[in-house]
Amino acid sequence: MDINIFKFCSGLKVLGYFMILLVAAIVAVSYYAVVVVTWGPQLLRGGVHSFLAFSILVLFHVLLLLLTWSYFMVVIKDPGSVPENWRPVTEEENLEAGSSMMTSDHVVPDALPSTWSSSDGLERKPIGYCSHCQNRKPPRCHHCSICQRCVLKMDHHCVWVVNCVGACNYKFFLLFLLYTFLETTMDTLILLPTFIQVFREAKNHSSSPGNLAIIFLAFVLNLAFALSLLCFIIMHASLVSSNTTSVEVYEKKKAVRWRYDVGRKNNFEQFVDDNERNKSFRYSTKFLHKLKAGKT
C-alpha cells in the first residue's frame, strides 16, 4: 500500500487553531496587566499621572487594533493560488513570477520549455509542474504540504496564523510582525517599573498574589516576544530588500546573480504592489476563461 506522508502534514493545521487561542490568551494577559492592574487606576490620580496614563492607554489600544487587524488579514486572506490548467500567454508574462500571468489550453507537462533567456540576458526558471496538484505552476510557486495546494511566491507556512504566507498576504504578515513588536516593546517598558516592584510587594504582601503573577507573566511574555520578533523583522527586511523568500534563501546562495533582485527601491515597490498585481492576475484569468467560452 502506497502511503503519502505529505497528507499527514495537513493535520498540523489543527495545531494552528490552538495557536490562535494562545495569541488571544497572551493579548488578554497583557491587556489585564497594562490596563486593569497597572495604568488604568492611574487615570484617577489626576494631574500628570492621569495625562501620562491616558497617553499610554491610547497608544496601547491603537497598536492593539492595528496588530489585531493585520493578524486577521493574514489569517483570512488567500496567500495566492494557481488556477487550474493555467499557462502564461507569453514568456514575458511569466517573468513576473506568479504576479500577472494568464491562462491557456492545457498542454502536456513534458512540452513545457526547460529554460529561456529574457531581453536582459538572464536565464529564467522554467514553468514548473506540481505532481501533487496535477497542475502547472509559475516560478517562485511552491506546494504547501500542510495546506495541500500551491502558493504563489510562497514564503512559509505559519502555524501562528493557520495559513501560508505568500504573494497576497506577505505585506499583512510583515505589518503584523511590526505592530506586534511595537506593542510588546511598549508593554515591556511600561510594565518594567511595576515588574521591579513585584518582588518588593511580594515580600511585604501588599498586593494581591494574582495581580503580581499576572504582571510577572505579562512582562516575561512581552519581553520574550519583543526580542524574538526583532530577529524576525530584521530577517524579513533583508529578504524584502533582495526580493527573496524564505524558501529561496538556499537557492539564492548558489546563484551568481539573483534573478529577481532589481534593486532595493524596486524590490520594495514590488513587495508593496504584489497584492494588487495578483488581483489583476485573477481578474485577467477569469476574463480569458469567459473569452474562450464565447461569453464576451
In sequence order, the β-bridge partners of residue 116 are 124
C-alpha cell at 132: 501533487
CA distance 118 to 247: 24
State yes or no: is 158 an active-site residue. Answer: yes
Which residue out of 150, 158, 164, 168 is catalytically annotated?
158
CA distance 220 to 207: 19
CA distance 68 to 66: 5
List, by residue number, the catalytic residues. Answer: 158
